Amino acid sequence: MRIEETELVDVLIMTPTPFRDDRGLFTRTFDAELFDQYVGRPGAAAGFVQDSQSRSGRGVVRGMHSRSGAGEAKLVRCARGAVHDVLVDIRPDSATFGHQQAFLLDDNDFRQLYVPPGFLHGFQSLTDEADVCYRIDRPHNPREDIAAAFDDPDLAIAWPQQVTTVSARDRAAGTWQELLTHVR
Protein backbone atom coordinates (compact mmCIF):
# COMPACT_ATOMS: atom_id res chain seq x y z
CA MET A 1 0.00 0.00 0.00
CA ARG A 2 1.31 3.43 -0.97
CA ILE A 3 0.64 6.31 1.43
CA GLU A 4 0.97 9.91 0.25
CA GLU A 5 0.53 13.31 1.84
CA THR A 6 -1.85 15.83 0.24
CA GLU A 7 -1.95 19.61 -0.03
CA LEU A 8 -4.05 19.67 3.16
CA VAL A 9 -2.06 19.24 6.38
CA ASP A 10 -2.53 15.77 7.96
CA VAL A 11 -4.78 14.41 5.16
CA LEU A 12 -3.40 11.23 3.59
CA ILE A 13 -4.17 9.24 0.45
CA MET A 14 -3.75 5.48 0.77
CA THR A 15 -3.59 3.44 -2.42
CA PRO A 16 -3.40 -0.34 -2.25
CA THR A 17 -1.72 -2.47 -4.87
CA PRO A 18 -4.30 -4.94 -6.19
CA PHE A 19 -3.29 -8.38 -7.41
CA ARG A 20 -4.99 -8.87 -10.77
CA ASP A 21 -5.34 -12.09 -12.75
CA ASP A 22 -7.87 -13.82 -15.00
CA ARG A 23 -10.27 -14.21 -12.05
CA GLY A 24 -10.40 -10.48 -11.37
CA LEU A 25 -8.51 -8.92 -8.49
CA PHE A 26 -7.75 -9.07 -4.79
CA THR A 27 -6.71 -6.08 -2.70
CA ARG A 28 -6.22 -5.23 0.94
CA THR A 29 -8.27 -2.10 1.67
CA PHE A 30 -6.82 -1.47 5.13
CA ASP A 31 -3.67 -2.48 7.02
CA ALA A 32 -3.66 -1.40 10.67
CA GLU A 33 0.05 -2.03 11.18
CA LEU A 34 1.06 0.05 8.16
CA PHE A 35 -1.40 2.79 9.11
CA ASP A 36 -0.01 2.98 12.66
CA GLN A 37 3.58 3.10 11.38
CA TYR A 38 2.82 5.91 8.94
CA VAL A 39 0.90 8.13 11.35
CA GLY A 40 3.49 7.40 14.07
CA ARG A 41 0.97 6.41 16.73
CA PRO A 42 0.95 2.73 17.68
CA GLY A 43 -2.65 1.63 18.13
CA ALA A 44 -4.11 4.53 16.13
CA ALA A 45 -5.92 2.14 13.78
CA ALA A 46 -7.59 0.43 16.74
CA GLY A 47 -9.35 3.74 17.42
CA PHE A 48 -11.73 3.17 14.52
CA VAL A 49 -15.02 2.06 16.07
CA GLN A 50 -17.67 2.29 13.35
CA ASP A 51 -18.00 1.41 9.67
CA SER A 52 -20.76 2.99 7.58
CA GLN A 53 -21.71 2.90 3.92
CA SER A 54 -23.82 5.10 1.67
CA ARG A 55 -25.17 4.47 -1.84
CA SER A 56 -25.85 7.41 -4.14
CA GLY A 57 -27.02 7.90 -7.71
CA ARG A 58 -25.32 10.01 -10.37
CA GLY A 59 -25.12 13.70 -9.48
CA VAL A 60 -26.09 13.25 -5.82
CA VAL A 61 -24.17 15.48 -3.42
CA ARG A 62 -23.72 14.53 0.24
CA GLY A 63 -22.09 17.18 2.38
CA MET A 64 -20.47 19.36 3.53
CA HIS A 65 -20.39 17.75 7.00
CA SER A 66 -18.17 17.75 10.06
CA ARG A 67 -18.37 17.26 13.81
CA SER A 68 -17.93 19.77 16.62
CA GLY A 69 -16.14 19.02 19.87
CA ALA A 70 -13.33 16.52 19.42
CA GLY A 71 -14.43 15.99 15.81
CA GLU A 72 -13.91 12.65 14.14
CA ALA A 73 -11.20 11.01 12.09
CA LYS A 74 -12.25 8.79 9.22
CA LEU A 75 -11.05 6.69 6.35
CA VAL A 76 -13.19 7.18 3.25
CA ARG A 77 -13.20 4.98 0.15
CA CYS A 78 -15.47 4.32 -2.80
CA ALA A 79 -16.18 0.59 -3.00
CA ARG A 80 -18.39 0.83 -6.10
CA GLY A 81 -18.48 3.48 -8.82
CA ALA A 82 -16.71 6.81 -8.51
CA VAL A 83 -17.06 10.01 -6.49
CA HIS A 84 -15.62 13.51 -6.50
CA ASP A 85 -14.64 13.83 -2.83
CA VAL A 86 -14.05 17.28 -1.29
CA LEU A 87 -12.40 18.30 1.99
CA VAL A 88 -12.23 21.77 3.55
CA ASP A 89 -9.88 22.41 6.48
CA ILE A 90 -11.84 24.04 9.34
CA ARG A 91 -9.04 23.91 11.96
CA PRO A 92 -8.34 27.56 12.87
CA ASP A 93 -4.71 26.86 13.84
CA SER A 94 -3.90 24.88 10.69
CA ALA A 95 -1.60 26.22 7.97
CA THR A 96 -4.26 25.13 5.45
CA PHE A 97 -7.29 26.58 7.31
CA GLY A 98 -10.06 27.38 4.82
CA HIS A 99 -8.33 25.54 1.98
CA GLN A 100 -10.10 22.81 0.06
CA GLN A 101 -8.94 19.91 -2.03
CA ALA A 102 -10.84 17.44 -4.21
CA PHE A 103 -10.00 13.79 -4.82
CA LEU A 104 -11.26 11.14 -7.20
CA LEU A 105 -12.18 7.99 -5.28
CA ASP A 106 -13.28 4.99 -7.33
CA ASP A 107 -13.53 1.22 -7.50
CA ASN A 108 -10.64 0.99 -9.95
CA ASP A 109 -7.69 2.49 -8.02
CA PHE A 110 -9.16 1.86 -4.53
CA ARG A 111 -7.65 5.09 -3.19
CA GLN A 112 -8.94 6.12 0.18
CA LEU A 113 -8.57 9.23 2.25
CA TYR A 114 -7.50 9.50 5.85
CA VAL A 115 -9.38 12.57 7.10
CA PRO A 116 -8.32 13.78 10.56
CA PRO A 117 -10.72 15.69 12.83
CA GLY A 118 -11.41 19.24 11.73
CA PHE A 119 -12.47 18.93 8.10
CA LEU A 120 -15.71 19.47 6.24
CA HIS A 121 -16.32 16.47 4.02
CA GLY A 122 -18.64 15.87 1.09
CA PHE A 123 -18.81 14.15 -2.25
CA GLN A 124 -20.69 13.92 -5.52
CA SER A 125 -21.47 10.60 -7.19
CA LEU A 126 -20.00 10.49 -10.70
CA THR A 127 -21.57 7.14 -11.66
CA ASP A 128 -25.08 5.71 -11.78
CA GLU A 129 -24.39 4.12 -8.38
CA ALA A 130 -21.59 4.88 -5.97
CA ASP A 131 -21.03 3.13 -2.65
CA VAL A 132 -18.90 5.12 -0.21
CA CYS A 133 -17.52 3.40 2.90
CA TYR A 134 -16.44 5.29 6.01
CA ARG A 135 -14.37 3.95 8.90
CA ILE A 136 -14.90 6.36 11.80
CA ASP A 137 -13.08 6.74 15.13
CA ARG A 138 -16.04 7.86 17.30
CA PRO A 139 -19.66 6.79 17.62
CA HIS A 140 -21.99 9.21 15.85
CA ASN A 141 -23.60 11.87 18.05
CA PRO A 142 -26.14 13.92 16.03
CA ARG A 143 -25.85 16.81 18.52
CA GLU A 144 -22.27 17.36 17.31
CA ASP A 145 -23.13 17.54 13.60
CA ILE A 146 -22.08 20.76 11.87
CA ALA A 147 -22.26 21.63 8.19
CA ALA A 148 -21.88 24.27 5.54
CA ALA A 149 -23.98 24.48 2.41
CA PHE A 150 -22.61 22.45 -0.49
CA ASP A 151 -23.30 25.42 -2.79
CA ASP A 152 -22.09 28.22 -0.53
CA PRO A 153 -20.54 30.92 -2.76
CA ASP A 154 -17.73 31.58 -0.27
CA LEU A 155 -16.64 27.94 -0.54
CA ALA A 156 -17.21 27.90 -4.31
CA ILE A 157 -16.85 24.14 -4.57
CA ALA A 158 -16.60 23.11 -8.22
CA TRP A 159 -18.89 20.09 -8.43
CA PRO A 160 -18.00 18.37 -11.72
CA GLN A 161 -21.56 17.37 -12.68
CA GLN A 162 -24.97 18.94 -12.41
CA VAL A 163 -26.24 18.39 -8.86
CA THR A 164 -29.30 16.13 -9.09
CA THR A 165 -30.25 15.40 -5.48
CA VAL A 166 -29.37 16.83 -2.08
CA SER A 167 -31.00 15.95 1.24
CA ALA A 168 -33.30 18.48 2.92
CA ARG A 169 -30.81 18.62 5.79
CA ASP A 170 -27.94 19.49 3.44
CA ARG A 171 -30.06 22.10 1.63
CA ALA A 172 -30.77 23.72 5.03
CA ALA A 173 -27.09 23.82 6.07
CA GLY A 174 -25.75 27.19 7.08
CA THR A 175 -23.17 29.28 5.31
CA TRP A 176 -19.41 29.05 5.52
CA GLN A 177 -19.39 32.35 7.46
CA GLU A 178 -21.89 30.96 9.99
CA LEU A 179 -19.81 27.82 10.42
CA LEU A 180 -16.71 29.92 11.12
CA THR A 181 -18.39 31.33 14.26
CA HIS A 182 -18.55 27.76 15.63
CA VAL A 183 -14.94 26.78 14.90
CA ARG A 184 -13.08 29.94 15.88
pLDDT band at 33 (very low <50, low <70, confident <90, very high): confident
Tell me the average pLDDT of the chain: 94
Rounded to whole angstroms, how far apart are CA atoms 97 and 93? 7
pLDDT of residue 40: 73
Catalytic residue list: 65, 134
CATH number for the domain harbouring residue 85: 2.60.120.10
Question: Taking the C-alpha atoms of 40, 41, 47 and 51 in order, what is their torsion angle to the nearest 10 degrees?
Answer: 10
In this structure, of 44-48, 79-83, 101-105, 170-174, the range with the lowest mean pLDDT score is 44-48
In terms of Cβ atoms closer than 10 Å to its own Cβ (0-12, 13-18, 19+), residue 72 is buried
Q: Which domain holds residue 86?
A: 2-183
In this predicted structure, the answer to whether residue 34 has a pLDDT above a threshold of 90 is no
Which helix (H) or strand (E) segment holds residue 133: the answer is strand 129-136
The answer to whether 157 and 166 are in contact (CB under 8 A) is no
Total count of domains within the chain: 1
Which helix (H) or strand (E) segment holds residue 132: the answer is strand 129-136
pLDDT digit string, tens, across residues 129-184: 999 999 999 998 999 999 999 999 999 999 999 999 999 999 999 999 999 988 87
pLDDT band at 42 (very low <50, low <70, confident <90, very high): confident
